[in-house]
Amino acid sequence: MHAAASARGSEARSSEGGAGAPSRAPGVQAVASPRTALVPPGPLPSLRFGYGTNGLADLRLDDVLALLADLGYDGVGLTLDHMHLDPLAPDLAARTSRVAHRLDALGLGVTIETGARYVLDPRRKHGPSLLDPDPADRARRVDLLVRAVRVAADLGAHAVHCFSGVVPEGTDTDTAWKRLTGTLTPVLDAACSAGIPLAVEPEPGHLLGTLADFHHLRSTLGDPEPLGLTLDIGHCQCLEPLPPADCVRAAAPWLRHVQIEDMRGGVHEHLPFGDGEIDFPPVLAALAATGYQGLTVVELPRHSHAGPHLAAHSLPFLRHAERTAATTTPPAPAPAIQQTAPPHGAPSATHEGSSTG
């Protein structure tokens, strides 16, 4: 492991325990990834913005990193895919080491994302998933996530992102939840050993589609410490009953990764900033007030054709929204809430059939 990357990763490796420690799933131990807490009154810390490589898929990875550094981004959401640090190709450790050196040289932080469309199966988008009927197929997805955890540790990443997958045809909801908890347990074990939080994303149309579903998973697993949340701000606008800023406050204790883009209510379509309905200054103010210091990554996976242009325009938009937020008085922070998971297929807002980008 590169020395600087090792130093970054070691920040999360101290042990924790003692009275009041949460219960955990069998075989899952504590990992030191501090719970997000509201910061004291005063000037809010600056947020750290990144851009997702899945929105720059037409560029070589080295060119992506150079572009983002030149534009002033703080980091990158690195989707492991055939064109960007292929997790299944030979010499992964050596290639990862080279990326670690490059990240360090450019001063970029990193989150590992695992939403590549066809990295495991050239014919099934996002297949196989953690919910597949075939145990061997589920094991392939588990193997990918464990590889992602190892890459994250070697890069000093602050989290590994994942999602549940769509419930397969003919599979009942109870069976799907059992598969999800069973397949995530070895990934959580790996995350615990590596000191890397696993940040599960509620994805419209998936088994785990809402914040309420995340709490259901967390409770079912016994609140394992490595398990955290990827909050996609657009998904909050699309599907959640709370406004996006309130979603941020409600999710604060579990935030490990944040994705951001514009979106409209009831429509799962990732949009460039200004093309949707989200009022961003309150969202960014709420996020800063939680004390979250991981990356907030622009997520435009269907806009790679214009990726460099959108990357150049997204950061100034976000910084302007951040400055606007600093000049207004935010509402009093709402306490984090634990919602009761609705039955699968009973969304928390107007339902829209959807598939992941």
Those residues with Cβ within 8 angstroms of residue 292's Cβ, 6 or more apart along the chain or in another chain: 36, 47, 252, 255, 258
Angle between helices 135-155 and 92-106 (to 10 degrees): 40
Cβ–Cβ < 8 Å for 344, 176: yes
128 preceded by cis ω (within 30°)? yes
CA atoms within 13 A on the CB side of 196: 32
pLDDT single digits (tens) 148-184: 999 999 999 999 999 999 999 999 999 999 999 999 9
Q: What is residue 75's predicted lDDT score, i.e. its pLDDT?
A: 98
Q: What is residue 264's predicted lDDT score, i.e. its pLDDT?
A: 96
CA atoms within 13 A on the CB side of 26: 3
Q: How far apart are CA 255 and CA 250, in angstroms?
A: 10
Q: What is residue 5's predicted lDDT score, i.e. its pLDDT?
A: 42
Whether 11 shows a pLDDT value over 70: the answer reads no
pLDDT single digits (tens) 267-296: 999 999 999 999 999 999 999 999 999 999
Q: What is residue 121's predicted lDDT score, i.e. its pLDDT?
A: 86
What is the mean predicted confidence (pLDDT) over 81-88? 96
Q: How far apart are CA 288 and CA 306, in angstroms?
A: 29
Q: Record the tokens describing residue 179, joined without a space.
A: 């598969």
- Least confidently predicted of 4-13, 47-56, 330-339: 4-13
pLDDT-above-90 percentage for the chain: 76
pLDDT-above-70 percentage for the chain: 79
- Alpha-helical (H) ranges within the chain are 3-10, 61-71, 92-106, 135-155, 173-194, 211-220, 233-239, 244-251, 280-289, 307-326
Higher per-residue pLDDT: 171 or 30? 171
Q: What is residue 7's predicted lDDT score, i.e. its pLDDT?
A: 40
Task: Identify the sign of the CA torsion 341, 338, 165, 236.
Answer: positive
pTM for this structure?
Answer: 0.82
Q: How far apart are CA 46 and CA 319, in angstroms?
A: 9
Angle between helices 3-10 and 135-155 (to 10 degrees): 110
Q: What is residue 326's predicted lDDT score, i.e. its pLDDT?
A: 85
Instruction: Supply the mean pLDDT for the chain.
Output: 85
Cβ–Cβ < 8 Å for 325, 288: yes
What is the mean predicted confidence (pLDDT) over 187-193? 98
pLDDT single digits (tens) 104-133: 999 999 999 999 999 988 898 988 999 999
Q: What is residue 44's predicted lDDT score, i.e. its pLDDT?
A: 67
Class of residue 313 by CB neighbours under 10 A (exposed 0-12, middle 13-18, buried 19+): middle
Whether 19 shows a pLDDT value over 50: the answer reads no
Instruction: Tell me the pairing of strands 255-260 and 262-264.
Output: unpaired
Cβ–Cβ < 8 Å for 61, 85: yes
Confidence band, pLDDT 50/70/90 cuts, at residue 1: very low
- Least confidently predicted of 11-15, 168-172, 214-218, 256-260: 11-15
Rounded (5°) CA angle 313-304-278:
50
Q: Record the tokens describing residue 5, joined without a space.
A: 């990357």
pLDDT single digits (tens) 33-70: 334 445 555 566 799 999 999 999 999 999 999 999 99
Q: Record the tokens describing residue 123, joined without a space.
A: 């014919």
